[in-house]
Amino acid sequence: MSLPLPIPVDSSLLPTHFDHDLYHLKDNSPLQNGHHEEAKRRSVALVASEALPNSPEHSEAVLQLDCIPEDIWREIFFHCQSESSRTHLNLSAAPLLLTRVCRKWKSIAIRAPELWTSIPYDISTFQMPISSPPNQGRIYPKKINYEGLTGRGKMLNDWLDRSGMLPISIALGAQGLPLSYRVPQTILDFIHRVTTRDFAPRICSLEVSTTKSPQLYIGFMKLSADDFPNLREITVDKALNIDAGIFHAPRLRKVSIGELPTESESKKISWDALLKQWVRLQHLHIGTPIPEERVFQILGFHHLTECSLTFRGAGTYTTRRISSPNLESLSLSEENMSFFPYEYLDIPALTTLKLKLLGRRNIDNPMLSLLPRINALNKLDLNIERLMHAEECMYSQTLEAFRAIPGLRHLVLHLPSMYCGYESQSSREMVLSLANPRPVRLKEGLEPFNVLPELQILEFIGEIDVLLARYFQNIVIQRLNPNRRDIATLKHISATLATPISVWNRTISEAITLKIRHHIKWAGIECHVDLKDQWVPVY
């Protein structure tokens, strides 16, 4: 945020008897008679005095500011707000900061309801450690400042008053506040105000937490769907009762749920009624597994543009085509081995795909039937688990799928854990080598091809240990080879080198880093390498 700066001091406004000494002080030239300290004293006295504010020029500048219409100030104040969608009760940021500059600004800001339509995300609980005896080696609990929390509750109510009757977004939580803690009355008053049927129609966006703000969550769960005619977005960390009216609001377009009820409770969910209400959703995220057949229904929503789901296979299979023509971002995670009909999924507009798959030996890799039919794909985030039992099959079929998407620009590869024993080492090498651009011949009689020749961003999630470091180095250097302009297209590489456990390992890490940097410089290719390691600095 940039606030207006003080008016620059014009030398013509300075009293004439200071002109000479201050002129020499400004350009560091010698003063007559060596009166440096005297000139400094006079300059400080000038600033401390009211000579400048009382000057005609300064008065004219202030008068010009006073002539700026209030609607212009309000427009300026509106653009002073943080670009983040989450605001905070922060006295050092707009809009609260604007009320602390001068009386006029405070008056204008308070009368501008558009500045107060987003209720802050986090309430500081003012936790302070209780004094403890030194050197006791014990961790003492923190004491919550009840008065400070009460004051924050009053600020929330003031914030609400200043919002007028405009649509409002609420994202409220109290990080670290125990459930058994006595909530201040000012916060309870705020919760009561926003969870009434008179106020609910104003809410257009809502983010609540069952752990951070249980009272607020419970209050909203008691209302019906008709009480939220303008609610378009809802985010909850855990949906204790997904059949509550708030999840059936008529204008919902974005739903994000971290956890659904337990498996036994989820069987009671009225999925048909719920999905019928959600058919016009544009964004949907559910963090816990849902039945496979419900995924079929959700991906058939024609208005969906962004979707993230984890599904639980139950042997269900369909030959019905699933069309999602507007879907641009999709994340699918398998909880168990399934026969999900990827070949019947039509998503022509997809640009970002995130897949978490389980290793397969006797059935085809789902990417074989999915990727060749996505012409607009720009980013692929791939995580293959339990790979060690199906390495060769998954590896060759993944490369075959890559052959169908030569225009991919962004690849994210998740490496298997390095702590799963020696059997996982070959799996880690295979995943890493998926990014190797060398020519590959999959079958006899087929022409070899370069793997993802137009790749620009390459990310590895998971640690690269010393055993994999040489593989990593070779892949990067091949992708930056100036003699191979057809594949030297990388602009960003990101990886994490495992923490070296000896000076010898540290030397290898530093050597790889230095060699890559020199290669980039020699090749004349503009590329950023982000290697995170406690020994090797990030550059």
Are the C-beta atoms of residues 393 and 358 closer than 8 Å to each other?
no
* Amino acid identity at 93: A
Task: Return d(Cα 243, Cα 268) in angstroms, integer.
Answer: 9
Q: Is residue 525 part of a domain?
A: yes
Q: How do residues 128-176 score in pLDDT, each as one tens digit?
A: 444 444 444 444 445 556 777 788 888 888 888 999 899 999 887 655 4
Beta strand pairing call for 329-334 and 168-171: unpaired
Q: How large a percentage of the chain has pLDDT more than 70? A: 69
Residue 2: its pLDDT value, please? 42
Q: Is residue 534 part of a domain?
A: yes
From first CA to last CA, the distance across the chain in angstroms is 28
Q: Is residue 473 part of a domain?
A: yes
Within 138-240, strands assigned E span 142-144, 168-171, 203-208, 233-238
pLDDT bucket at 88, cuts 50 / 70 / 90: low
pLDDT at residue 320 tops 70: yes
Number of domains within the chain: 1
Q: Is residue 528 part of a domain?
A: yes
DSSP-assigned beta bridge partners for residue 458:
411, 493
Q: Is residue 532 part of a domain?
A: yes
What domain range is 455 assigned to? 388-439+449-538
Q: How do residues 442-489 score in pLDDT, each as one tens digit?
A: 666 667 888 899 999 999 998 887 778 888 888 888 888 877 777 878
pLDDT bucket at 325, cuts 50 / 70 / 90: very high
CATH code (residue 472):
3.80.10
Q: Is residue 527 part of a domain?
A: yes
Which one-letter DSSP state was computed for residue 447?
P
Q: How do residues 398-441 score in pLDDT, each as one tens digit?
A: 888 898 898 999 999 998 876 655 456 777 888 888 898 888 77
Q: Is residue 435 part of a domain?
A: yes
Q: Read out DSSP for 460-474?
A: EEEEE-HHHHHHHHH
Q: Is residue 61 part of a domain?
A: no
